[in-house]
Amino acid sequence: MKFGTKAIHAGVEPDPHTGAIMTPIYQTSTYAQTSPGQHKGYEYSRTHNPTRTALQNSLAALEGGKHGLCFSSGLGAMDTLLKLFKPGDEIISTNDLYGGSYRIFKRVYEPFGLKFHFVPMQDMEAIRSRINANTRMIWVETPTNPLMNIIDIEACVKLAKEHNLLVAVDNTFCSPYLQTPLALGADIVMHSVTKYIGGHSDVVMGALVLNDDQLHERLMFLQNACGAVPGPQDCFLVLRGIKTLHIRMQRHCENGRKIAEYLSQHPKVGKVYWPGLPEHPNHAVAKKQMRDFGGMISFTLKGDVLEDAIGVLERFKYFTLAESLGGVESLCGHPASMTHASIPKEDREQAGLKDSLIRLSVGIEDIEDLLADLEQAIG
């Protein structure tokens, strides 16, 4: 199946009992057994739920993987993945990443004995220099949040295989429509399903997708044992959102391109961070591994004055000032005080994240209205 057909059909079958086209919401905590330990594949909804099973199968199909696992949030998915490791293990990550990822690495798992290295992962030698006998995983986020750096997944995989390391990719900014890391050799894909996959700003959820059977068994055990699972209502909403994923992503990309081009020519705009621009330093890598360039854009104003950036954010009408991204509506944000406030200021600035940076999640509204909103907000 092509992607659009997968989005509508993969992993989802009509209900065998009623013929319902849409997967029912199995709003139940437990299931009848004919004899102790004998059941129809479902015993307790923390372990398995038919609505969640359909969603996990759909996500696996979209990413080109064998196994999907859903969690109550993207950080819940990361938390489960990190439980694979033990004190003394080391993980290499990009130095430009989502603030919540940094927080769980540094403030939750580092006190338990894991060690994390944050490097500019566009440079393979920076990654190589941190690999030692204790290294267990390379954590890739591409495009990065919020500076839109592009990390070469295939190059990371090649380096990881030399040292028998896992490669996990946070694919949230792309969705499987734009990028499929498993096809590039990655071991695990993570999504904040809250974002583009759900697509309507009404669900909080995370997911892992992978191919390895043994690794899947271990993660499935942790999913059940630790219990950070989503409810069937949320799974139903995401299944509904997936059916329009390809159409939504096309419009996100179209609008994103026009807005990035507009910003790059605006006399008051300093720098535009969007991998589809030819002047982006990682544009060639983005062209190689992405289907299109997405609707996430960051930019600064000339002079890099914080108050000027705040003024723009306060004047927007259609770009709503809010956390999150990837919904049908356009959002704007101030990473330094919102999504990345948990990262110390000196670390943010070292990675290139200025206090004056503005991040846009470009929605699917009419582009003329969005451009007009930018014009009046920037002045």
What is the model's pLDDT at position 7?
Answer: 96
b/e map 200-221, b = 16+ CB within 10 Å: ebebbbbbbbbbeeebbeebbe
Q: Do 206 and 71 touch, CB atoms closer than 8 A? A: yes
**Nearest alpha-carbon partner for 320 in 330, 305, 311:** 330
Cα gap 286→290, rounded to integer Å? 5
What is the model's pLDDT at position 341?
Answer: 87
Q: Is 46 tagged catalytic?
A: yes
Place of tokens 């992962």: 121
Q: Is 31 tagged catalytic?
A: no
Kindly tell me if the per-residue pLDDT of 116 is higher than 90: yes
Mean pLDDT score, 352-364:
95
Mean pLDDT computed over every residue of the chain = 97
Kindly tell me if the per-residue pLDDT of 57 is higher than 90: yes
Q: Is 170 tagged catalytic?
A: yes
Model confidence band, residue 351 (pLDDT cutoffs 50, 70, 90): confident
Strands 90-94, 115-119: pairing kind: parallel
DSSP string, 55-114: HHHHHHHHHT-SEEEEESSHHHHHHHHHTT--TT-EEEEESS--HHHHHIIIIIIGGGT-
Mean pLDDT score, 22-37:
95
Model confidence band, residue 315 (pLDDT cutoffs 50, 70, 90): very high
Length of the chain: 379
What is the model's pLDDT at position 183?
Answer: 98
Q: Is 317 tagged catalytic?
A: no
User: What 3-state DSSP class applies to 136?
Assistant: strand
Of 14-18, 73-77, 201-205, the least confident? 14-18
State percent of the chain over pLDDT 90. 93
Question: Which residues neighbour 136 within 8 Å (Cβ) at sequence distance 6 or greater?
Answer: 85, 89, 90, 91, 165, 166
Both structure tokens of 158: 């090649």
**Catalytic-labelled residue, pool 79, 96, 152, 170:** 170
**Catalytic-labelled residue, pool 15, 31, 42, 46:** 46
User: What 3-state DSSP class applies to 169?
Assistant: strand
pLDDT digits (tens, 9 = 90+) for 217-274: 999 999 999 999 999 999 999 999 999 999 999 999 999 999 999 999 999 999 999 9
**Catalytic-labelled residue, pool 195, 248, 257, 359:** 195
Kindly tell me if the per-residue pLDDT of 142 is higher than 90: yes
Domains, the chain, in order of start with CATH, read 3-240 (3.40.640.10), 245-378 (3.90.1150.10)
What is the model's pLDDT at position 349?
Answer: 87
**Nearest alpha-carbon partner for 288 in 125, 152, 190:** 152
Kindly tell me if the per-residue pLDDT of 339 is higher than 90: no
**Catalytic-labelled residue, pool 6, 26, 96, 98:** 98
Model confidence band, residue 109 (pLDDT cutoffs 50, 70, 90): very high
Kindly tell me if the per-residue pLDDT of 17 is higher than 90: no
